Amino acid sequence: MALENILILSFLLVMIQLTIPMLIQLLTKKTNLKYFLSSRDETTNISTHAQRANRALKNLLETFPIFIGIIILSLIKDIDNSSIALLWLILRIIYVPVYIFGINYLRTGIWAASLICLILMGIKFI
């Protein structure tokens, strides 16, 4: 798969992860749609799964700029990082439900593997 396509899919992953906490809240009826359409001046009871989804998103956003930077540099320098980038994306997709459902050791392993992917992509520039 081309790096450009992987980059676009990674943007899609971010957009999906942005909506997951809200969807969890709506589906579990912890929050109603009226709250999400308001200015959210009041606080609401956020479910454990929605909190985990928020933390999974925060975790993605911590390394996402690095991923984007490596992809852009790969495109500029014509370095083939597509297989490792695709693995990173697959790992990050798997990470979301694993984190939301609280599978701790597997979650940490997936996170570590995705970090190793970033390192391997960076090493190709040396």
Residue type at 76 in one-letter notation: I
Place of tokens 């909190």: 51
Q: How many distinct structural domains can be found in the chain?
A: 1
pTM of the entire predicted model: 0.90
Per-residue pLDDT of the chain (126 residues; tens, 9 = 90+): 899 999 999 999 999 999 999 999 888 877 666 666 667 677 778 889 999 999 999 999 999 999 999 999 999 999 999 999 999 999 999 999 999 999 999 999 999 999 999 999 999 998
Q: How far apart are CA 44 and CA 67, in angstroms?
A: 34
Cα 121 from Cα 90, distance rounded (Å): 15
Number of neighbours of residue 31 by Cβ within 10 angstroms = 19
Task: Report how far apart, in Å, the C-alpha atoms of 63 and of each of 22, 28, 48, 60 are.
Answer: 22, 30, 23, 6
Q: Domain holding 42: CATH number?
A: 1.20.120.550
The residue range of the domain holding 25 is: 3-123
